[in-house]
């Protein structure tokens, strides 16, 4: 499935959220030209290159241009004039300095679908604030929900807000292209990390505004539900058990041959289980210690009870389900020049799972190629490279 194979995308983003959005488009066939500063995307070396290697696949091409030079800005504007989609992640006001803002570009490319992806959006008191994923986790209230009540909040250990924002942007860009096909008109899209994270907190916001109760951290579990947390099987092997109603609890009790627990006065309703959750946790962990984790999770799944092993990353990489489904793909870390595996596109279609390509682009790898496609001759390209307006191939 390559619905965007005739779509040219100009990627003016760094970090994670923007590259995620253009990676989705590239995965579905788009021709993505990633413009980087001469020193490269600031995240190229983060986590020894692993971050860049996981969000810049999908047949992207890299061009290095120095926006501080007139020649660099001119080349970028020429790319923008021919693009179907432009995604930028500069702080508000910066692209205007380069003549790459929506108003400037739409004057010469009136049907462009343009997305500004920022921390806080194009207006409001925080507009100028810089932001990264953990800052937004904190400000949105998400971090306040993570951890134990008697300990400080903690961040989620992955860039979930970046990925959520990038995915949202990709969906909106696809919608903008569909709208353009329908009406012939372009579109401007303002999407930001803060509002995406706030949307994810929607049901907690609704709960607070309806009850006046500020939600508290509940550790591994979910407020009001029990048993709903990490338990341990034999060998202290951890797994997560999520019992969300009385029916699931009855199934759990049958599976571990403790049916009497389902009619015990302390545990017969979810409200009582939550009230007596410490006592219930102790009883269940004693029972679970008699089971092999893999066998127990399989038995619970067969009984229709949501449960699964708590995996470390090494266990995820070796997970047979992910391997059989092709959910991991071979790639290459261009920063360390080592082969790696990373996540495949999280979906498949009629023709299977889309290809991501075997590696992300090296810094400025396609500078000459793309400038030549714009009509620059070898002499002009050499002059730009010598002057530092364009970056050399790595």
pLDDT of amino acid 305: 94
CB atoms within 10 A of CB 9: 22
Q: Is the pLDDT of residue 394 over 80?
A: no
Whether 97 and 119 map to the same domain: the answer is yes
CA distance 110 to 57: 29
- What six digits make up the tokens of 40? 């490269």
Whether residue 160 sits in one domain with residue 23 = yes
> What are the tokens at 344?
């495949």
Segment 117-122 shows an average pLDDT of 95
In a domain, 71, yes or no: yes
Whole-number pLDDT of residue 356: 81
Q: Are residues 48 and 131 in the same domain?
A: yes
CATH number at residue 247: 3.30.1540.10
Is 375 a domain residue? yes
* CB-neighbour burial class of residue 245 (10 A; exposed 0-12, middle 13-18, buried 19+): exposed
Give the pLDDT confidence of 163-172 residue by residue, as tens digits: 999 999 999 9
Please indicate, yes or no, whether residues 305 and 330 belong to a single structural domain of this protein.
no
Instruction: Tell me which of 286, 310, 334 is where a domain ends.
Output: 310
Query: Are the beta carbons of 119 and 188 closer than 8 angstroms?
Result: no
Asked if the structure places residue 167 within a domain, the reply is: yes
Domain assignment present for 118: yes
Residues 16 and 122 in one domain: yes
Q: Judge if 239 and 156 occupy the same domain.
A: no
**Number of domains within the chain:** 2
Identify whether residues 145 and 25 lie together within a single domain.
yes
User: Last residue of some domain: 310, 345, 372?
Assistant: 310
Mean pLDDT of the chain: 94
| Per-residue pLDDT tens over the stretch 8-30 | 999 999 999 999 999 999 999 99
CA nearest neighbour of 378 among 388, 367, 365 = 367
Domain that holds residue 347: 8-199+323-387
- Encode pLDDT of 216-272 as tens digits: 888 888 888 999 999 999 999 999 999 999 999 999 999 999 999 999 999 999 999
Q: Assess if residue 213 is contained within a domain.
A: no
115/147 same-domain check? yes
Which tens digit of pLDDT belongs to each residue from 172-226? 999 999 999 999 999 999 999 999 999 999 999 999 999 999 998 888 888 889 9
**Do residue 168 and residue 128 come from a single domain?**
yes
Could you give the residue numbers annotated as active site?
A: 162
- Say yes or no: 251 and 355 in one domain: no
Among 241, 276, 310, the domain-final residue is 310
With the C-alpha atoms ordered 199, 204, 206, 212, is the resulting torsion angle positive or negative? negative
Q: What is the pLDDT of residues 277-293, one digit of tens each?
A: 999 999 999 999 999 99
pLDDT of residue 40: 92
Q: Whole-angstrom Cα distance, residue 237 to residue 228? A: 17
Mean pLDDT of 28-50: 94
CATH number of domain containing 32: 3.40.50.10540
The pLDDT tens digits for 346-379 are 888 888 888 888 899 999 999 999 999 999 999 9
pLDDT at 36 over 90: yes
Q: State CA 309 to chain mean position distance.
A: 23
Considering the domain architecture, whether residues 288 and 337 belong to the same structural domain is answered as: no
For residues 174 and 241, membership in a common domain is answered with no
The span from the CA of 226 to the CA of 135, in Å, is: 31
């Amino acid at each position: 499935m390559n619905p965007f194979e005739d779509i040219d995308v100009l990627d003016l983003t760094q970090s994670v959220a923007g590259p995620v959005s253009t990676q989705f488009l590239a995965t579905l066939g788009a021709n993505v030209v990633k413009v980087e500063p001469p020193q490269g995307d600031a995240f190229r070396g983060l986590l020894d290159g692993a971050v860049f290697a996981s969000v810049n696949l999908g047949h992207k091409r890299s061009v290095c241009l120095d926006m501080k030079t007139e020649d660099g800005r001119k080349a970028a504007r020429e790319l923008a004039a021919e693009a179907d989609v432009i995604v930028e992640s500069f702080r508000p006001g910066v692209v205007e300095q380069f003549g790459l803002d929506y108003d400037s570009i739409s004057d010469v490319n009136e049907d462009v679908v343009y997305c500004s992806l920022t921390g806080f959006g194009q207006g409001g008191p925080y507009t100028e604030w810089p932001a990264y994923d953990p800052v937004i986790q904190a400000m949105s209230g998400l971090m306040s929900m993570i951890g134990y009540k008697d300990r400080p909040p903690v961040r989620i250990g992955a860039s979930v807000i970046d990925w959520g924002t990038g995915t949202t942007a990709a969906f909106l860009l696809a919608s903008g292209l569909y709208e353009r096909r329908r009406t012939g008109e372009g579109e401007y899209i303002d999407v930001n990390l803060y509002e995406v994270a706030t949307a994810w907190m929607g049901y907690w916001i609704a709960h607070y505004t309806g009850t006046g109760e500020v939600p508290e951290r509940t550790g591994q579990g979910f407020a009001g539900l029990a048993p709903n947390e990490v338990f341990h099987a034999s060998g202290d092997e951890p797994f997560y058990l999520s019992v969300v109603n009385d029916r699931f609890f009855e199934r759990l009790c049958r599976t571990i041959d403790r049916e009497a627990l389902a009619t015990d006065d302390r545990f017969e309703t979810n409200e009582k289980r939550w009230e007596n959750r410490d006592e219930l946790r102790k009883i269940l962990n004693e029972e679970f210690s008699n089971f092999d984790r893999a066998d127990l999770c399989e038995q619970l799944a067969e009984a229709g009870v949501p449960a699964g092993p708590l995996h470390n990353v090494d266990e995820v990489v070796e997970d047979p389900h992910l391997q059989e489904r092709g959910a991991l793909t071979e790639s290459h870390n261009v920063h360390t020049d080592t082969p790696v595996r990373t996540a495949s596109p999280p979906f498949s279609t009629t023709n299977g799972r889309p290809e991501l390509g075997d590696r992300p682009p090296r810094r400025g790898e396609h500078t000459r190629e793309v400038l030549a496609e714009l009509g620059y001759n070898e002499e002009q390209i050499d002059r730009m490279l010598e002057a530092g307006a364009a970056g050399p191939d790595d």
